[in-house]
Structure 1
Amino acid sequence: MKILERVQKIPGGMMVVPLILGAIINTFFPQIIKIGGFTEALGSQGFPTLIAAYLFCVGTKMTLKAAPVMLKRGFSILFAKVGIASLIAICVAKFFGGDLWGLSALAILAAMNDTNGGMFIALTSSLGDESDSGSYVVQSIETGPFLTMLILSGSGLANIPYMAMVSVIIPIALGAILGNLDKDIRNFCAKHGEILVPFFAFGLGNNINLKSVVSAGWTGVILGFATVVITGVVCIIVDRLTGGTGLAGAAASTTAGNAAATPKAIAMADPTFAAIAPIATLQVAASVIITALLTPILTTLVYKRNQKKKAKELNPEVEAVNSIS
C-alpha cells in the first residue's frame, strides 16, 4: 500500500500525520487508547519519555570539530532566527496582551525559532557548499523546547522552574557527550533517532481535542507565511554579512516538525499555558507544512540570483553587450 512513502511526501508528514491521527482519536474515540497498560502508554502517557529519547539522539549530532567558518555563520544565523522570533513574541506579549490575530506569543516563538534540520541540510547540500550545510551544527541547538523555555522565562512571560529547563537540556547534553566520545553511537542515533518522531507525535495528538481548536487553521497558515518571510529575510541578510551567499539563511526559514511538541512541553512546565497549548500546537503544525512548501522556493530564488551574479562577475563583457542590445 506504500503508506510510508505517501506520508513522507507530505511536508513534515512523519510529524503531522501521526499528530492529526492522534488528535482525531482523542476527539472522537478517546476510549480506544485510554485502556491502561502499554496501549495507553503509546498515547499521551508516553509522550515525555519519547521526547527525552529523541532529544538524546539530537544531542549526539552536535560535534566539536566544526570549522571556524561554519561556527561563525552557524551562530550568526542561530542568533538572527532566535533573536527575531524572541523580539516578535515579546512584543506580542507586552503590547497585544499575548494574542495577535489569534496567534499567541507561545505559538509564534515555538514556530519561528526552531529550524527544520532535515530540510536545511537537504537544501544546502544540493544548492550550497560544505560551509552552508555545516552551519547547521550550531543551529541544531534550536532543536527542542529548551530555548523557548529559556526565552519565556528570561523575559518574564512564564514561570518555569529552573529544574524543568535543566531536565530538557540533560538528554541533549548526554547525547552530545556520548556522540563525541564514540562516532558509532552518533551514527547509530543519527540513523535511527527519527523513528521516534511519529510515536511522540501520536502521543502529542492524544492531548489535542479538535473541537476546541477548529479555528486554528487559518492562523496557522498566517504563522507559516510570517515565519518564512520574516525569519527568511533576517537570516539571509545576516548570512551575507558574515560571508555567506544568503542561501543558508533562506534554508533556515522553516519550522521544525518537532516544534509542534514545544507548546505541550511548555504547558507541562508552566500550567498557565495549558489552555492555549492545544491551539498553539496545531498552529505550529500548520506552520511546519506551510514553511516546508515555501522555504524551498525561497532558497531556490536565492540560489538562482547567486548564479546570475556569479555569471555576471565571470563574464562582465558578455553581460555588458547583452545590456546594450
Structure 2
Amino acid sequence: MKLKKTIEKIPGGMMVLPLVTGTAINTFAPQLLEIGGFTTALFKQGAAPLIGAFLVCMGAGISFGAAPKAILQGGSITLTKLLVAVALGFSVDKLAGAEGFFGLSSVAIIAAMSNANGGLYAALTGEFGSEIDVGATPLMSMSDGPFFTLIALGAAGMASIPLMALVAVIVPLLIGMLLGNLDAEMRQFLTAGGPVLIPFFAFALGTNINLAMLLEGGIAGVALGLLTTFFGGYFNVRVDRLVGGTGVAGAAASSTAGNAVATPLAIAQADPSLLQVASAATPLIAASVITTAILTPLFTSWIARRNVLQEAKL
C-alpha cells in the first residue's frame, strides 16, 4: 500500500491531510483525543513542543551567512501583510462605516489579514521553501497576535511588543543553527528529522479547530479567508520575490493565525465603543482561520510547482 505517495499527490498533503483529519475528529468526536496520557499530550496538546522541535531541526540547515537575508525577507512580508490589511480595512470603514459590507468590518479584515499562522508558515516553508524561508519564521511570528492590529486601530497604548514571545521562537532556531554550523553531521542528522515532524504537529493544530466556527462565520467569514490567502497573498508573493525570494515564503504567510480569534476582545478592551463590532468580527475571523488553514497550503504548493516548471523552461 503506497500510502505516502498517495498523500503526497495532494498539494501540501503531509500538512493538509493531518490538519483536516485532526479538525474533523475535534469537531465530531473530540472525546477520542481526551483520554489523557501520551495520546492527549501528543495529538491534542503537542503542537507547540512539536513546532519547537521542528524549528531546531530546520534551524540546523541555516548557515549563519543566510541570517541577514532571512531577516530582510521575514520583515518585508510581515510589513506587507500589515499595510495591505490596513489599506483594505480602512477603505471598507470609509465606504461602509464600522459595520462594513455584509458584516465584513474593518476590525475583522485587519485582525484576520495582518495575523499569520506561524506554525503553518514553518511547516510549509520547511516542505517547499529554502533555509532562508525557514529562517524568516521568527520575523513572521511578530504578526501572530493582536499587536499590529491594535497599532493599526490606534490602540497601541494598550499593548506592548511581545519581546519574550519572539525570543521564545528564536531560541529553538538558534540552537539548531548553532549545532548545524558546528558539525556537518549534526546538520544532516537534524534536518532529516524536520519533515517527519510536520504531519504530527499539523494534526495537533487541527485538533484545536472546530468546523462549527466555519458555519458560524458563514459566507462572510469564508470570503475573509479568500481575501487573506489570495488578495493578501498576491502582495506577499510579489514582495517576497522583490527581496530575492521565490514567492514560497510569501504564499506560506498568507493565512490567519488561530490566536487572531481573540484579537477583537483585545480591541474592545482598548476601545469599548467597538464592543459590538468586535463581537460580530469574532466568528468571521474564526472562519478565516479554518479557510486559510486549508487554502494556504494549496496556494503555497501551487507557487512551488510553478517555480519548478519555470526553472525547467530555462
| Structures share fold, TM-score greater than 0.5 | yes
**Contact 1:227–1:255 (8 Å) recurs in 2:** no
| Count of matched residue positions in the alignment of Structure 1 and Structure 2 | 277
Range with greater deviation from structure 2 (162-171 or 192-201): 162-171
**Contact 1:43–1:203 (8 Å) recurs in 2:** yes
Of 77, 83, 89 in structure 1, the residue corresponding to residue 85 of structure 2 is 89
- Partner of residue 16, structure 1: 16
- Partner of residue 34, structure 2: 34
- Partner of residue 323, structure 1: none
Summarize the Cα distance change of 1:100–1:91 in structure 2 as closer, same or farther, 3 Å threshold: same
**Contact 1:207–1:278 (8 Å) recurs in 2:** no
Tell me the SS of whatever aligns to 1:148: coil
Whether 1:142 and 2:136 are equivalent positions in the alignment is yes
Superposition deviation, residue 119 in structure 1: 6.2
Superposition deviation, residue 139 in structure 1: 3.3
Unaligned ranges ≥5, structure 2: 99-103, 268-281
**Partner amino acid, structure 2, of 1:143:** T
Summarize the Cα distance change of 1:47–1:267 in structure 2 as closer, same or farther, 3 Å threshold: farther
Of 289, 293, 307 in structure 2, the residue corresponding to residue 285 of structure 1 is 293
1:200-215 pair list within 5 angstroms = 200-214=201-215, 215=218
**Contact 1:11–1:288 (8 Å) recurs in 2:** no
- Partner of residue 183, structure 1: 184
Unaligned ranges ≥5, structure 1: 122-135, 240-247, 308-325
Summarize the Cα distance change of 1:254–1:20 in structure 2 as closer, same or farther, 3 Å threshold: same
Listed one character per residue, the Cα deviations across residues 155-208 of structure 1 (whole Å, up to 9, x for unaligned) are: 439656433332222211211222211222221121111211111111111111
1:1-325 pair list within 5 angstroms = 1-66=1-66, 77-91=73-87, 96=93, 99=105, 103-110=109-116, 114=121, 116-117=124-125, 121=129, 136-143=130-137, 146-149=141-144, 152=147, 155=151, 156=156, 161-214=162-215, 215=218, 216-239=221-244, 248-255=245-252, 263-264=257-258, 272=266, 278-292=286-300, 294-296=302-304, 299=307
**Partner amino acid, structure 1, of 2:207:** N
Superposition deviation, residue 17 in structure 1: 1.1
Tell me the SS of whatever aligns to 1:231: helix
**Contact 1:159–1:270 (8 Å) recurs in 2:** no
- Partner of residue 124, structure 1: none
**Contact 2:23–2:207 (8 Å) recurs in 1:** yes
How far apart are the structure 2 equivalents of 1:220 and 1:39? Answer: 31
Summarize the Cα distance change of 1:51–1:23 in structure 2 as closer, same or farther, 3 Å threshold: same
Listed one character per residue, the Cα deviations across residues 57-77 of structure 1 (whole Å, up to 9, x for unaligned) are: 2222221245xxx966x6654
**C-alpha RMSD of matched pairs (Å):** 4.0
How far apart are the structure 2 equivalents of 1:252 and 1:45? Answer: 27
**Contact 2:58–2:126 (8 Å) recurs in 1:** no
Superposition deviation, residue 217 in structure 1: 4.2
How far apart are the structure 2 equivalents of 1:200 and 1:35? Answer: 19
How far apart are the structure 2 equivalents of 1:293 and 1:8? Answer: 11
Listed one character per residue, the Cα deviations across residues 232-259 of structure 1 (whole Å, up to 9, x for unaligned) are: 33344444xxxxxxxx444544216xx8
The percent identity for this pair of structures is 30
- Partner of residue 101, structure 2: none
**Partner amino acid, structure 1, of 2:137:** T
**Contact 2:251–2:303 (8 Å) recurs in 1:** yes
